[in-house]
Amino acid sequence: MEILLTIALFIAFFLLLKQEKALGKYAQSTILFTRAVDQYQEAIEGYKEVVAEYQEAIEHLKQEIAEHELLLKEHSIDKPSAEPTQTLIPPPPPQFSSHRQPQSKTPQTQLSPIPPKDMPLPDLKTAKRQPSKQKAVSKNSPLYKEFLYLLNGNEEAANRLITRQQQLNPDRLDNWILEKVIGDLKRDRRA
C-alpha cells in the first residue's frame, strides 16, 4: 500500500512539474505577446504622427498654391492649364542636294587613296613582316594555373573565357587578360 502511495505521489509530482513548465512557457509567451502588442501600438502611434505631418505639409502646400494663384491674378498672368498640352511637331524632311555627282555604272571600291603617279610603289619582297600577336596564353603561367584551379581543371571553359576576353580587349597583354578573367570569376562567385 505504501508503495502504491509513493508511486502516486511521484506521478502527482511529475504532473505538477509538467504543469509548472507549461505555466512558465505560457507566462513567457504572454510576456512576449504583450511586448509585441506594445510595439504594434507604438508603430500605430508613429504612423498616425507621420500621417498628421503629411496632412500639415499638404495644407501648407495648398496655402502656397493659393498665394501663387493670387499673385498670378494680381499681375494678370493666365493660370497655366491643369494638363499641359504637348504639340508634337514632326521633324523637317531631310534636305537632299539636287547637285549630286552622277554615279558611274561600274562599281568603284576605293580602299586607299590613289598615290601620285610619280611616287614609286613599295617593294613588297623586302618589306618586313611583323609577327602576329600570339593568341595562346602560356599554360605554365602561375595565373593560368590559378585560373584552371578555380575552374576545377576545365581547360575548355578556361580557353573559352580567355578567348572571349581577348576578343573584347585585343590590345591587352596575356597577364592582363588572365587577371581580368580571374577577377571576373571570383566576383561572379561572390555574387
Asked whether residue 65 is domain-assigned, the answer is yes
Q: How far is CA 141 from the centre of its chain?
A: 34
Phi/psi of residue 47, each to 5°? -65, -45
Asked whether residue 23 is domain-assigned, the answer is yes
Report the number of distinct structural domains present in the chain.
2
Asked whether residue 93 is domain-assigned, the answer is no
Which domain-ending residue is among 35, 58, 79?
A: 79
pLDDT tens-digit series, residues 163-189: 999 999 998 998 999 999 999 999 998
Question: Beta-carbon neighbour count of residue 185 at 10 Å?
Answer: 16
For range 142-152, the mean pLDDT: 91
Which grid cell sits at 124? 613588297
Global pTM reads 0.31
Range of the domain at 73: 1-79
Same domain, 1 and 74: yes
Q: Give yes or no for residue 14 having a pLDDT over 80.
A: yes
Q: For residue 94, what are the contacts with CB-CB under 8 A and spacing of at least 6?
A: none
Tell me whether residue 158 is exposed, middle or buried, using C-beta atoms within 10 angstroms of its C-beta: 0 to 12, 13 to 18, 19 or more: buried
| Distance separating alpha carbons of residues 163 and 20, to the nearest angstrom | 72
Asked whether residue 113 is domain-assigned, the answer is no
| Distance separating alpha carbons of residues 90 and 93, to the nearest angstrom | 9
For range 6-33, the mean pLDDT: 88
Asked whether residue 58 is domain-assigned, the answer is yes
For range 74-78, the mean pLDDT: 76
Same domain, 1 and 75: yes
Which grid cell sits at 140? 605554365
Same domain, 74 and 147: no
More confident residue, 131 or 167: 167
Asked whether residue 109 is domain-assigned, the answer is no
Which domain-ending residue is among 64, 79, 94?
A: 79
| Distance separating alpha carbons of residues 185 and 158, to the nearest angstrom | 11
Q: How far is CA 80 from the centre of its chain?
A: 40
Q: Give yes or no for residue 131 having a pLDDT over 50.
A: no
- Give yes or no for a contact between 166 and 177, defined as CB atoms under 8 angstroms apart: yes
What pLDDT shows up at residue 17?
87
Question: Beta-carbon neighbour count of residue 178 at 10 Å?
Answer: 23
